Chain A
């Protein structure tokens, strides 16, 4: 299939869905829900077709807005380009998949809330912003999509505005997130002032030709802003409030997608594709590694002491972001070597796996909250008796996130452990410590779930179909991916790393060898 022809529909379909939602809403509740499912389903179809096409052709798709070629009369790009390599395509697939499941889940989960036309519009806009970040090859376009994603998620975190915690978390997230976005915009402004271009690939060329202090300042601003967005320690505090306060379908998208697309993916893209040739990758790699180690330990350790189920999952997300950052950092510090490649493959693989696992865990948490009305773990003892399917799904998700061998989390964590142990044994030890904390946290939850049923739990039962099916699909995906870990790593993740590391191809595809 021709990837270039279908690429713009990744943006067109969600935009169309979001813009037409106010009118579809006039037809009533059923049509609005059906519309949201149709739109996100169509986006999933386009996203998976795009992923397949990029994976099959092993090439980079370039799409120019406004004309056939990105170049003007001169020989440099003047138009906005969208550029998708295998890494970007994988992220597109991940975003469309989890978003579709979250929309499906919302049908049952959100039915007692009001203002749902706004909810579905925002959830589609959120998906749109993330898709835009994954496909764009233009720095300012990236910023616009980042803001679309961020503003939609501020609104969604504070969606339940009759609860005090929704408002509090929303305000905190908005203030912190706006400052982070301002950092990124300032970085872009500095780069534009210095080099006069906003196309990522042409900027990479300019940067390699004439490095400057401005570029380094801009890089520092990018790293700071994007670490904020990805929820790395010591700036993870908004995340621990935002994820519990949001509706669970939104927590699944925030934790599974937003922090990775807006944080990890953007960081990897900027570091590898723009700055790859013009900075000391070793220094930057170590900066990332230091933040990764702090994140890893703090996130997982804080997860152990939580009593609130969703807060525990939120801190666990911080911890897992630590692993992904560790892989990214080693991938940079050991750039071009086998170790670096494995570490980066582990990071990408873990990004994808964690999106599935954390979406599953948050959806399960949502089902439990929907049934029992409490997030306090102390009151949830023994739900294995009354909600067996939900508990089983949680068991699978928890085992996968710890990294039990038959499930998908094992392979991705193994790649990160292996490479960090080869790169520097101390980092390997820190990674293991993080996992020990993570295991403690999840075992604690499971111990509660399988305990003696408390009275409030006796009336609970498994959730309805629209909430159960996304959970089942994610469980199946986790188990099936767990059966073929090394094949997936060989066939998808390693090529994705090769595509990411091949900065020359990224630059020359747009410039056409100029």
Chain B
């Protein structure tokens, strides 16, 4: 891409990243959540890929790291869901008993395990989408 696109992308990618993170972190307070925020952040990754090209992306992208992060996102979700196994699977023990994330409803540190789950889903969606699109972009060549 040209100079204008690259410069604009440099300016915008951090903004998209911050906005996506905002959506993920405030998943339990405002519209949006893990998937929407994760997809937004992945949008920043795709803008990077489109603006700076595949060669630059190849240097920045690490396949094992992204798959491992995707797995960690899933494991975090599962682990948080198991915190309240004493009562039931998915029992929101952080909300009922603490020690954290049990503040006044409407504040950031409330809603029990939901913020953690949003973060986990956001991480999984971001890494998954970026991996998928990079893989497609890397796909051998146009003819066979």
Contact = CB atoms under 8 A, between A and B. Distances in A.
Interface of A: 8, 11-12, 15-16, 18-23, 25-26, 63-68, 117
Interface in B44-80: 64, 67-68, 70-72, 74-75, 78
12 contacts: A8-B88, A11-B89, A12-B89, A15-B74, A16-B78, A21-B71, A22-B70, A23-B68, A23-B71, A25-B67, A66-B90, A66-B92
A117 B71 CA distance: 12
A22 B88 contact: no
Contact of B91 (A12, A19, A67): A67
Given A12-B78, A16-B75, A26 B64 contact: yes
A65 B71 contact: no
A67 B88 contact: yes
Contacts of A64: 88
Contacts of A16: 75, 78
B71 A22 contact: yes
A65 B78 contact: no
Contacts of A66: 88-92
B88 A68 contact: yes
B83 interface: no
A19 B90 contact: no
Interface residues of B, number: 17
Most central of A12, A22, A23 by chain B CB within 10 Å: A22
A22 B67 contact: yes
Contacts of B91: 66-67
A22 B68 contact: yes
Given A12-B89, A65-B90, A66-B88, A20 B64 contact: no
A68 B82 CA distance: 14
B4 interface: no
A21 B72 CA distance: 10
B87 interface: yes
Nearest to B91: A66
Contacts of A20: 71, 75
Contacts of B75: 16, 19-20
A64 B85 CA distance: 12
A26 B67 CA distance: 10
Nearest to B63: A22
B78 A26 contact: no
Contacts of A117: 67
Given A16-B75, A22-B64, 13 more contacts: A8-B89, A11-B89, A15-B74, A19-B74, A20-B75, A21-B71, A22-B71, A23-B72, A66-B88, A66-B90, A66-B91, A68-B88, A117-B67
Contacts of B71: 19-23
Contacts of B64: 22, 26
A22 B72 CA distance: 9
In the A-B complex, the 9 residue pairs with the smallest Cβ-Cβ separation, listed nearest first, are A19-B74, A22-B67, A22-B71, A8-B89, A65-B90, A66-B90, A19-B75, A19-B71, A22-B68
A10 to B, nearest CB: 11
A491 to B, nearest CB: 31
B68 A26 contact: yes
A11 B92 CA distance: 18
Q: Most chain-A CB neighbours within 10 Å: which of B70, B88, B92?
A: B88
A479 to B, nearest CB: 39
Contacts of B90: 65-66
Nearest to B84: A66
Most buried by B among A18, A19, A63, A66: A19
Contacts of A68: 87-88
A12 B89 CA distance: 9
A67 B89 CA distance: 8
B67 to A, nearest CB: 4
Contacts of A19: 71, 74-75, 78
A308 to B, nearest CB: 26
A8 B89 CA distance: 7
Contacts of A12: 78, 82, 89
B87 to A, nearest CB: 6
A319 to B, nearest CB: 38
Contacts of B70: 22
A504 B89 CA distance: 27
A8 B91 CA distance: 12
B90 to A, nearest CB: 5
Contacts of B89: 8, 11-12, 63, 65-66
Name which of A12, A66, A68 has the most chain B CB atoms within 10 A of its CB: A66
Contacts of A21: 71
Contacts of B67: 22, 25, 117
A66 B117 CA distance: 14
B62 to A, nearest CB: 12
Contacts of A15: 74, 78
Nearest to B76: A19
A21 B67 CA distance: 9
Nearest to A8: B89
A63 B68 contact: no
A117 B87 CA distance: 34
A42 to B, nearest CB: 15
